[in-house]
Structure 1
Amino acid sequence: MPLTLNDIDLPPNVEGKLNRAYGTKYSLQKFLELDPYEIIRTTHLLPADIDIALQCVSNTFYPFSRRQMSVWQMIENERDTITIFSTGCPIIDKTLNGGIRLGQITELYGESGCGKTQFCIQMSLEVQRTFRARGQEAKVVYINTESQIEKIDKRLKHISYYRAKTDKPFNIADARCLQQKFFDNIYLDIIRHYRHLEMTLIDRLPLLLNREPNIRLIIIDSLAAIFRSEDIMFEHHTKANTLQYFGFAMHTLCQRYNLAIVCVNQVQTQFGQKPTDLSLLSQPMILGPALGLTWAFLVHCRIQLTKTEKIEEHHPDSQQSQVVYDERQATTSIKTNVVYLRSLSIDYCYHIPKTNRCNYFIVDKGVFGSLN
Structure 2
Amino acid sequence: MAPLKSLEKEYPLIDSIFQSFCASHAIFSVEDFLLHDIDALIALADNHCASQTLKQGINQLLSIIDARHPPLLNGLQLLEDAQQNKHVLSTGCERIDALLGGGLREGQLTELVGSSSSGKTQACLLTASTVAKHKSSVIYLDTGNSFSPHRIARFVGQSSASDNQAAHKLKEVLDRIICYSVFDIYQMFDVLHQLKTNLRSEIVKSNQHVRLLIVDSISSLVTPILGGSGPQGHALMISAGFLLKKLGHEHNIAVLVTNHVVGGEDGVSKPALGESWKSVPHVRLLFSQDCGSNVCNISMLKHPSMASGRAASSAMFL
With the shorter chain as reference, the TM-score category is: 0.5 to 0.7
Residues 105/180 of structure 1: CA separation in 2 closer, same or farther (3 Å cut)? same
Which residue in the other structure is 2:103 paired with? Answer: 99
Q: How does 1:352-363 map to 2 (within 5 A)?
A: 352-362=306-316
Q: 2:124 aligns with which of 95, 120, 126?
A: 120
Contact 1:161/1:176 (CA < 8 Å) preserved in 2?
no
Q: Does 1:193 pair with 2:184?
A: yes
1:139 is aligned with what amino acid?
S
Stretches of structure 1 lacking an aligned partner (at least 5 in a row): 3-69, 166-170, 272-283, 312-339, 365-372
Q: Does 1:159 pair with 2:155?
A: yes
Q: How does 1:191-230 map to 2 (within 5 A)?
A: 191-201=182-192, 203-209=193-199, 210-212=202-204, 214-230=209-225
2:269 is aligned with what amino acid?
L
Write the deviation string for residues 185-237 of structure 1: whole angstroms up to 9, x where unpaired. Answer: 01000011111112222x211133231271000000001112234455x5452
1:354 is aligned with what amino acid?
S
3-state SS of 2:235 partner:
helix
3-state SS of 1:98 partner:
coil
Contact 1:96/1:356 (CA < 8 Å) preserved in 2?
no
3-state SS of 1:94 partner:
helix
Which residue in the other structure is 2:263 paired with? Answer: 269
Stretches of structure 2 lacking an aligned partner (at least 5 in a row): 1-8, 11-75
Which residue in the other structure is 2:305 paired with? Answer: 351
3-state SS of 2:315 partner:
strand
Residues 289/107 of structure 1: CA separation in 2 closer, same or farther (3 Å cut)? same
Query: Which has more strand, going by share of residues?
Result: 1
Q: 1:298 aligns with which of 257, 264, 280?
A: 280
Per-residue deviation, 1:354: 1.6
Per-residue deviation, 1:160: 2.2
Contact 1:309/1:341 (CA < 8 Å) preserved in 2?
no
Residues 307/207 of structure 1: CA separation in 2 closer, same or farther (3 Å cut)? same
Give identity over the alignment, percent: 22
Q: Does 1:183 pair with 2:168?
A: no
3-state SS of 1:343 partner:
strand
Give distance in 2, aligned partners of 1:204 and 1:300. 24
Give distance in 2, aligned partners of 1:249 and 1:113. 28
2:150 is aligned with what amino acid?
K
- Runs of 4+, deviation exceeding 4 Å: none
Give distance in 2, aligned partners of 1:148 and 1:308. 22
Which residue in the other structure is 1:245 paired with? Answer: 239
Write the deviation string for residues 98-140 of structure 1: whole angstroms up to 9, x where unpaired. Answer: 11110010000101111100000000011234xx3xxxx3100
Residues 269/363 of structure 1: CA separation in 2 closer, same or farther (3 Å cut)? closer
How many residues are treated as equivalent by the alignment? 237
With normalisation by structure 1, the TM-score equals: 0.58
Contact 1:104/1:261 (CA < 8 Å) preserved in 2?
yes
3-state SS of 1:254 partner:
helix
Give distance in 2, aligned partners of 1:157 and 1:235. 45
Give distance in 2, aligned partners of 1:361 and 1:175. 24
Per-residue deviation, 1:89: 2.3
3-state SS of 2:183 partner:
coil
Per-residue deviation, 1:173: 2.5
CA RMSD of aligned residues (A): 2.8
Residues 355/217 of structure 1: CA separation in 2 closer, same or farther (3 Å cut)? same
1:143 is aligned with what amino acid?
L
With normalisation by structure 2, the TM-score equals: 0.67
Contact 2:132/2:173 (CA < 8 Å) preserved in 1?
yes
3-state SS of 2:295 partner:
strand
Write the deviation string for residues 239-260 of structure 1: whole angstroms up to 9, x where unpaired. Answer: 2111111111112101111101
Give distance in 1, aligned partners of 2:185 and 2:229. 14
3-state SS of 2:269 partner:
strand
Which residue in the other structure is 2:141 paired with? Answer: 143
1:156 is aligned with what amino acid?
I
1:160 is aligned with what amino acid?
V
Residues 291/82 of structure 1: CA separation in 2 closer, same or farther (3 Å cut)? closer
Give distance in 1, aligned partners of 2:268 and 2:83. 42
